[in-house]
């Protein structure tokens, strides 16, 4: 385990900081589970395993202050976008410099947020859901997670110390020049790792 204030990736530098842009130390640990990833090679008409790098980023809660907002994001000149989401997790994705990279975050209050969504109607027909302008956080725990508008990472507001750490996952895959495959295959493969 390494304690860092910056973590270099092929698609930018990962940093965590407070509202005044002061760096917050974080721990970098290997992901406990080995993830095998594959992309579809159109020439071979088969799935081909590709190597990946994956790490867990942990920000110790006891180094943070309740009520303050913090940011964990990739700093670089890239276009980030939505990667994937699942119960209690969301991830971004970027492809740059021959790599596809994803940063995912654990959201301990995802189910509580879902219960507060407001239905959207077109006439009398419900056509979807939208988040409220503000969440009632009285039953939330740990931290309130939000995606940054440019999808480069996440902000989180410390609610209490009920969780020992704020957890993110980061992973990347180097594109194999010998394979003929879609970039979206690499992006889908890497986001599978960062969704908890």
- pLDDT tens track, the chain, 196 positions: 688 999 999 999 999 999 999 999 999 998 766 666 777 666 667 777 776 788 999 999 999 999 999 999 999 889 999 998 988 999 999 999 899 999 999 999 999 999 999 999 999 999 999 999 999 999 999 999 999 999 999 999 999 999 999 999 999 988 887 776 788 888 988 888 888 7
Question: How many domains are there within the chain?
Answer: 1
13, 44 Cβ separation under 8 angstroms: no
Residue 62 CB burial class (10 angstroms; 0-12, 13-18, ≥19)? exposed
CA 86, CA 33: separation in Å to the nearest integer?
18
82, 94 Cβ separation under 8 angstroms: no
Q: How confident is the model at residue 156, as a pLDDT?
A: 98
**Largest pairwise CA distance in the chain:** 55
Q: How confident is the model at residue 196, as a pLDDT?
A: 73
Q: pTM (2 decimals)?
A: 0.88
Q: How confident is the model at residue 35, as a pLDDT?
A: 64
Domain with 183 in it: 2-194
């Amino acid at each position: 385990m390494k304690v860092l204030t910056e973590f270099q990736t092929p698609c930018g530098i990962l940093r965590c900081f407070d509202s005044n842009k002061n760096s917050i130390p974080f721990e970098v640990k290997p992901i406990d589970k080995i993830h095998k990833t594959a992309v579809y090679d159109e020439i071979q008409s088969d799935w081909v395993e590709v190597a990946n790098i994956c790490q867990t980023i942990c920000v110790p809660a006891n180094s943070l202050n309740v009520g303050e907002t913090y940011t964990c994001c990739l700093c670089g000149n890239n276009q980030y976008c939505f990667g994937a989401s699942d119960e209690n997790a969301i991830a971004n994705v970027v492809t740059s410099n021959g790599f596809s990279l994803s940063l995912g975050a654990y959201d301990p209050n995802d189910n509580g947020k879902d219960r507060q969504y407001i239905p959207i109607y077109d006439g009398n027909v419900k056509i979807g859901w939208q988040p409220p302008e503000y969440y009632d956080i009285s039953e939330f725990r740990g931290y309130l997670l939000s995606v940054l508008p440019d999808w480069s990472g996440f902000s989180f507001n410390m609610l209490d110390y009920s969780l020992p750490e704020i957890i993110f996952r980061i992973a990347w895959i180097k594109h194999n020049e010998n394979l003929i495959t879609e970039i979206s295959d690499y992006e889908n493969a890497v986001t599978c790792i960062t969704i908890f």
